[in-house]
């Protein structure tokens, strides 16, 4: 296959991918939000619920981190340290990992992290929040969550641009 032929074939595949993304966004925009269980997490200061993590903000960014044993998660968290002050001026922000709070504190101090952390160990939160399933691998990824009313939290799809208001309709109660 020539370079020109392969370029044309790749361009056709990219168009197909773009069309599929458009179809996916159209379906996602029709999903109705559903209440999310108000999980309780451990942190070095004691326990905190998902609804409390919002504080006085309408938006909560939860960065799902696989813990101190994952060098890639550490790299991501290092990067958030630089934008944390900007993010928290507009939204609540927390890094969630399965590590115990004491381990999180030691690791965060060693890396100079300034952001709050919660332990999701034993809660099922990371598996259902990130993947929407209860079995299989649970990759680390960010989620942005918008609070609609009172202490109810509503999930948004982690890959959705921040300017889009459609929400993922998976129930985690």
**Fold for the domain defined by 34-155:** Glutaredoxin (3.40.30)
pTM of the entire structure? 0.65
Q: Is the pLDDT reported for residue 162 higher than 90?
A: no
Instruction: Return the pLDDT at 131.
Output: 56
Q: What 3-state DSSP class applies to 96?
A: strand
Strand runs labelled E in 3-149: 40-43, 46-49, 59-64, 92-97, 117-119, 142-147
pLDDT digits (tens, 9 = 90+) for 111-123: 999 999 999 999 9
d(CA 16, CA 54): 39
Instruction: Return the pLDDT at 95.
Output: 92
Contact 117, 94 (CB under 8 A): yes
Contact 105, 119 (CB under 8 A): no
pLDDT digits (tens, 9 = 90+) for 44-103: 999 999 999 999 998 888 888 888 888 888 888 888 888 999 998 999 999 999 999 999
């Amino acid at each position: 296959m020539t370079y020109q032929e392969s370029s044309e074939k790749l361009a056709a595949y990219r168009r197909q991918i773009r069309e599929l993304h458009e179809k996916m966004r159209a379906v996602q925009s029709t999903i109705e939000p559903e209440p999310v269980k108000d999980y309780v997490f451990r942190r070095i200061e004691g326990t905190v619920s998902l609804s409390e993590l919002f504080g006085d903000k309408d938006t909560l960014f939860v960065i799902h981190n696989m813990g101190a044993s994952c060098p890639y998660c550490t790299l991501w968290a290092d990067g958030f340290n630089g934008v944390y002050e900007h993010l928290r001026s507009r939204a609540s922000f927390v890094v969630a990992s399965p590590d115990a709070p004491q381990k999180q504190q030691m690791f965060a101090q060693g890396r100079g992290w300034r952001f709050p952390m919660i332990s999701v160990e034993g809660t099922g939160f990371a598996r259902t929040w990130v993947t929407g399933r209860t079995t299989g691998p649970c990759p680390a990824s960010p989620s942005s969550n918008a609070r609609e009313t009172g202490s109810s939290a509503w999930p948004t799809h982690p890959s959705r641009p921040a300017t889009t208001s459609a929400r993922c309709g998976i129930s985690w109660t």
